[in-house]
Amino acid sequence: MKNNFIGSFGKFSIALTFLWLCFFAFLPFLLVFIASFLQRGSEDFLEFSFSLESYEKILNPIYLEVFLNSFELSLMTSIVTLILAFPFAYILSKLPQKLKAWALLLTIIPFWTSSLVRTYALVAILKTKGVLNGLLLYLGLIEKPLEIMYTGSAVIIGMVYTLLPFMILPLYASFEKLDFRLIEAARDLGANNFWILLKVILPLVMPGIVAGVILVFLPSLGMFFVPDLLGGAKDLIVGSFIRNQFLTFRDWPFGSVASVILTIFMLLLIFLYTKVQKRGGRVDENELL
Amino acid sequence: MKTNFYEKLYLGMIYLFLYLPIFVLIAYSFNNSKYSIEWKGFSLKWYESLFKNDSLIDAALNSLSIAFLSASAATLIGTMGAVALYRYHFKGKQFLRSMIYILILSPEIVMGISLLILFVLVGVKLGFFSLLIAHITFCLPFVVVTVLSRLSGFDRSIIEAAKDLGASGFYTFTHIILPSIAPAVVAGFLLSFTLSLDDVIISFFVSGVEFEILPVKIFSMVRLGVKPEINALCTIMFVLTIVIVWVSQFLMREKEV
């Protein structure tokens, strides 16, 4: 249906949504971009003179290392969540209908629960006198408590814990669409499990994998409260870096540069996602909610 | 298809991983001891001291009012926007669509600092209004997507029929479209409400000292260590979330019928 007549109410709806998002989403993004080319002001936060200083500064190995460490942490988080979520989503999609509804509800609850509350809950488990150590000592598996808190591992555990539902749900949406008869056909034709996984299942659920990785990777770069609560001083992620530049050091142009890099990276990932979407079946964003 | 024992075991272990910390937190909130992990008997004293803590109660009330107002505004604008996106073809439609999906995916910190820059440049004082605007903005795309998903099953010929019978755009919206997408609108509202109630990162940048909201307050408190009152507070928030999720799932499930 092509209908080009738009009544006044329709025009108003479009204008309202459009203007709101332009003014409070698009314009602010543009301002960050502009700010990244400005100088740090002595009185105000920004001085309006063009400079590439902040871009040069970020190439300093000290700052590059922050980025690399953060990307490494996010990559590790994505890999671990993918490994944990892949079989989970597969089994979930095979459950009988009634059980599936409950299982899905149990997966969605953490998805909706505050990640701060969940990260905080993890502290009680991981701390030296916490539940995990108590259990392991009781079972006699360890002799002295493990020091997990305030290490890099605690940060990874925290990220995996808070972001796991974000990987499970898009993967599940892909598995739901998977025609299991294809697997049977491959088996009848003599393929073993390994080849079925590699040549049949993986290509078909690829959109779900990419969607899941994006939903885990991107937030994990910014969630500064996870290393704040669980990690040591060394675990500076891009998010903590930006936060510090804006609120502690008051160097807005420098913080903006980091934010611009993050935005460019996000657009690249989204571009990759649309590519995969075109090849395979599309994971509907709506199904994530 | 059958699931075998090992597969069920695996599901159970992941659920244990997801829920054990939360259950431990809930148990601690009723524990009569402050630091020990040992069970020292059932007690409601942390809930009592929580309700005596005026600054926490204030922050909770602020959070609830921001969540209610921003969810309402986002639902109103988002529903109108989603219906317009579904009904009409207009210039910039693709741009609007892309902006909505990019906003859903963009890291919160990027949105947080970009709004901070906007507010400081325009001269909006950080507090109630800055928070409200920020929360409406990050909830809006989720409402649009939720409502659009419901509209995808909507029969367009009904709109055509209404128009042929002389209904205006607004009348069609309120009398034809809205009643049939109502569950998605409510689900969008509930999702926005929880998103707003839970948001730490964006709020962290755009809130001021005079108007504190719960997540930012909790964040500043838990950085200093575990406190039993916070366990009680988090338990309440968790229970509230479960209720909201349950209601919204109930509403969204209807569409398959």
Q: Which domain holds residue A199?
A: 61-288
What pLDDT, in 10s, does the model give residues A187-238?
889 888 888 888 888 988 998 999 999 999 999 999 999 998 888 766 789 9
Helices (DSSP H) in chain A: which residue ranges? 8-21, 27-35, 53-58, 61-94, 97-112, 115-126, 131-139, 152-177, 180-188, 193-195, 202-222, 225-230, 238-243, 252-279
Contact: B234, A223; criterion CB under 8 Å:
no
Whose structure tokens read 């971009």?
Answer: A33
Contact: A21, B78; criterion CB under 8 Å:
no
Residue in A with minimal Cα distance to B29: A121
Chain A neighbors of B10, CB-CB under 8 A: 87-88, 91
Chain B neighbors of A113, CB-CB under 8 A: 22, 198, 237-238, 241
What pLDDT, in 10s, does the model give residues B6-53?
999 999 999 999 999 999 889 888 988 776 566 778 888 889 988 998
Domains of chain B: 1-43 (no CATH), 54-256 (1.10.3720.10)
The answer to whether A67 touches A261, Cβ cutoff 8 Å, is yes
* DSSP at A280: S
Q: pLDDT value at position A1?
A: 45
Closest CA to A245 of A236, A237, A254: A254
For chain A, the C-alpha Rg in angstroms (whole number) is: 23
Chain A neighbors of B11, CB-CB under 8 A: 88, 91-92, 103
What pLDDT, in 10s, does the model give residues A104-153?
889 989 888 888 988 988 988 888 777 788 888 888 888 888 888 888 88
Q: Looking at the domain assignment, is residue A184 inside a domain?
A: yes
Residue-level pLDDT, tens digit, chain B, 257 residues? 677 899 999 999 999 999 999 998 898 889 887 765 667 788 888 899 889 989 889 999 999 999 999 999 999 999 999 999 999 989 899 999 999 999 998 899 999 999 999 999 999 999 999 999 999 999 999 999 999 988 988 888 888 899 899 888 899 999 989 998 999 999 999 999 999 999 999 999 999 888 999 999 999 888 877 678 888 998 998 999 899 988 888 887 765 44
How far away is chain B from the Cα of A77, in angstroms, using its nearest Cα?
15
Cβ-based neighbours of A283, under 8 Å, separated by 6 or more: A170, A173, A174, A207, A208, A211, A277
- Report the DSSP pairing between strands A39-40 and A46-47: antiparallel
Of the candidates A116, A263, A286, which has its C-beta nearest B200's C-beta? Answer: A116
ipTM attached to this prediction:
0.90
Angle at B183 between CA B170 and CA B200, to 5 degrees: 100
- The residue among B13, B110, B139, B143 with the most chain A CBs within 10 A of its CB, best to mutate, is B110
Q: Looking at the domain assignment, is residue A148 inside a domain?
A: yes
Q: Looking at the domain assignment, is residue A205 inside a domain?
A: yes
- The residue among B17, B18, B238 with the most chain A CBs within 10 A of its CB, best to mutate, is B18
Domain with residue A190: its CATH number is: 1.10.3720.10
Chain B neighbors of A121, CB-CB under 8 A: 21-22, 24-25, 234
Residue in A with minimal Cα distance to B122: A28
Chain A neighbors of B201, CB-CB under 8 A: 222-225, 239
Cα A236 to chain centroid distance, Å, stands at 17
Q: Looking at the domain assignment, is residue A15 inside a domain?
A: no
Q: Looking at the domain assignment, is residue A54 inside a domain?
A: no
| CA pair distance A35, A250, nearest whole angstrom | 13
- The residue among B33, B105, B233 with the most chain A CBs within 10 A of its CB, best to mutate, is B105
| CA pair distance A197, A199, nearest whole angstrom | 6
Q: Looking at the domain assignment, is residue A29 inside a domain?
A: no
How far away is chain A from the Cα of B211, in angstroms, using its nearest Cα?
18
| CA pair distance A51, A243, nearest whole angstrom | 22
How far away is chain B from the Cα of A61, in angstroms, using its nearest Cα?
23
Residue in B with minimal Cα distance to A23: B118
Side-chain half-sphere exposure of A192, counting CA atoms within 13 A? 1
- The residue among B70, B86, B109 with the most chain A CBs within 10 A of its CB, best to mutate, is B109
Q: Looking at the domain assignment, is residue A26 inside a domain?
A: no
| CA pair distance A17, B42, nearest whole angstrom | 51
| CA pair distance B119, B207, nearest whole angstrom | 11
Q: Looking at the domain assignment, is residue A133 inside a domain?
A: yes
Closest CA to B129 of B58, B73, B192: B73
| CA pair distance B21, A110, nearest whole angstrom | 11
Of the candidates A92, A108, A118, which has its C-beta nearest B249's C-beta? Answer: A108
- Structural domain count of chain A: 1
Cα A14 to chain centroid distance, Å, stands at 30
* DSSP at B2: -
pLDDT exceeds cutoff 60 at A281: no
